[in-house]
């Protein structure tokens, strides 16, 4: 992504070609191939499990699990699910890609290095083209807030400007994480520069319990930051001192992308994770007086992706 350009106002965007990668599922430990393909114009984002022949829309109302990742599924089909969708969804949303089909031959998106940066690279290699039909945004009209019993909360409020502004704080007392906060206006450039390379993380004391529960089977220091009290166990250390909160904001972008449209509003939260992010989307979209459809303004300094003729 070298260079910058404006996207046309109100036009949908789709991949120009297909591209694939192979990696390990963070929780399943399975070797999985992901193929990113152009979606049908107006169809939105969907995941297709080639191994079991099912297609799952990338929508908030198809979220079936939020334990340590966001997983999508189909009603009445326990086997029809796709886990760890948040990082690739964040990359698609940041680059304003509306229509894409993501094919998988296993139960989750490969974790790759634990961040969204590899997905940005793949998407830039595939390129994008203008699609057909209008591109609409969800404009937040009044504050909507959700919280849990432990003091964590998340909120979407109106934004006088047609963007998604996001602010998040986290707190892990007694660890190398500590208290961190970060804010940004979400554009392709700010996502690439501030969030994309922030990796998922966990506490060393939780690893054994996670694996006993069938989770984190494919995790390791090559695809996650592991914190042991005041220590970061990864040989290379952190990519940024506040990599932890930046990754949590990356997750917010990916989880909110499951609205199916860009969001114009102000997100704020404290210790918000996948569960609260999904609850917030459900609460917003269930309250028809809290939002409306609007035509999005062009983002400033959107990173240009190679233009190709669609296959």
Q: Can you list the domains of the chain with their CATH numbers? A: 4-303 (3.30.1700.10)
Query: Sign of the CA dihedral 171, 177, 179, 182?
Result: negative
Q: Give yes or no for a contact between 69 and 86, defined as CB atoms under 8 angstroms apart.
A: yes
Residue pLDDT, tens place only, 3-60: 323 333 478 999 999 999 999 999 999 999 999 999 999 999 999 999 999 999 999 9
Q: Is the predicted pLDDT of residue 133 greater than 90, yes or no?
A: no
> Averaged over 62-82, what is the pLDDT?
95
Output the pLDDT for position 2: 33
DSSP tally for the chain: helices H, then strands E: 6, 22
Q: Is the predicted pLDDT of residue 130 greater than 90, yes or no?
A: no
Q: If DSSP codes are grouped into helix, strand and coil, which group holds residue 54?
A: strand
> Averaged over 277-281, what is the pLDDT?
98
> Averaged over 179-201, what is the pLDDT?
97
Q: Is the predicted pLDDT of residue 246 greater than 50, yes or no?
A: yes
Q: Is the predicted pLDDT of residue 306 greater than 70, yes or no?
A: no
Q: In this prediction, what percent of the chain has a pLDDT beyond 70? A: 91
Q: Which of 290, 30, 14, 35 is nearest to 127 (CA)?
A: 14
Active site residue 60: no
Q: Is the predicted pLDDT of residue 139 greater than 50, yes or no?
A: yes
pTM here is 0.91
Output the pLDDT for position 210: 86
Q: Give yes or no for a contact between 216 and 27, defined as CB atoms under 8 angstroms apart.
A: yes
Q: How far is CA 274 from CA 47, 63, 100, in A?
A: 19, 10, 22
Residue bearing the bigger pLDDT, 266 or 133: 266
| Residue 28 DSSP class | T
- Burial class of residue 257 (count of CB atoms within 10 Å of its CB; 0-12, 13-18, 19+): buried
pLDDT band at 1 (very low <50, low <70, confident <90, very high): very low
Identify each DSSP E strand in 135-194 by its residue range. 137-140, 144-147, 153-157, 164-172, 178-185
Q: Is the predicted pLDDT of residue 301 greater than 90, yes or no?
A: no
Output the pLDDT for position 296: 55
Output the pLDDT for position 103: 98
Q: In this prediction, what percent of the chain has a pLDDT beyond 90? A: 83
Comparing 90-94, 107-111, 126-130, which segment has the lowest mean pLDDT?
126-130
Comparing 2-16, 105-119, 169-183, 288-302, which segment has the lowest mean pLDDT?
2-16
Q: Is the predicted pLDDT of residue 91 greater than 90, yes or no?
A: yes
Calculate the average pLDDT of the chain. 91
Q: Is the predicted pLDDT of residue 236 greater than 60, yes or no?
A: yes
* Orientation angle between helical segments 117-126 and 86-94, nearest 10 degrees: 50
Q: Is the predicted pLDDT of residue 194 greater than 60, yes or no?
A: yes
Output the pLDDT for position 176: 96
- Burial class of residue 157 (count of CB atoms within 10 Å of its CB; 0-12, 13-18, 19+): middle
Output the pLDDT for position 310: 30
> Averaged over 227-253, what is the pLDDT?
97
């Amino acid at each position: 992504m070298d260079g910058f350009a404006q996207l046309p106002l109100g036009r949908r965007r789709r991949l120009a070609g297909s591209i694939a990668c192979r990696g390990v599922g963070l929780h399943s430990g399975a070797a999985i191939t992901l193929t990113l393909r152009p979606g049908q114009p107006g169809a939105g984002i969907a995941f297709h499990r080639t191994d079991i022949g099912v297609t799952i829309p990338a929508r908030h109302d198809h979220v079936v699990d939020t334990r340590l990742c966001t997983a999508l599924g189909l009603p009445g089909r326990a086997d029809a699910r796709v886990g760890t969708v948040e990082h690739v969804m964040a990359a698609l949303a940041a680059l304003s890609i509306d229509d894409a089909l993501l094919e998988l031959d296993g139960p989750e998106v490969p974790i790759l290095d634990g961040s969204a940066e590899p997905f940005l690279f793949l998407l830039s290699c595939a390129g994008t083209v203008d699609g057909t039909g209008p591109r609409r945004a969800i404009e937040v009209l009044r504050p909507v807030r959700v919280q849990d019993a432990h003091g964590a909360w998340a909120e979407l409020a109106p934004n006088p400007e047609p963007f998604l502004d996001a602010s998040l704080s986290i707190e892990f007392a007694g660890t190398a994480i500590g208290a961190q906060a970060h804010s940004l206006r979400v554009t392709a450039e700010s996502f690439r520069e501030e969030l994309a390379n922030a990796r998922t993380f966990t506490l060393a004391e939780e690893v054994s319990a996670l694996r006993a529960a069938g989770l984190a089977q494919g995790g390791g220091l090559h695809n996650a930051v592991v914190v042991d009290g005041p220590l970061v166990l990864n040989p290379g250390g952190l990519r940024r001192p506040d990599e932890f909160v930046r990754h949590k904001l990356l997750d917010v972008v990916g989880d909110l992308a499951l609205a199916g449209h860009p969001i114009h509003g102000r997100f704020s939260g404290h210790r918000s994770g996948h569960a609260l992010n999904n609850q917030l989307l459900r609460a917003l979209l269930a309250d028809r007086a809290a939002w409306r459809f609007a035509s999005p303004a062009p983002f400033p300094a959107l990173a240009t992706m190679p233009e190709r003729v669609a296959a």
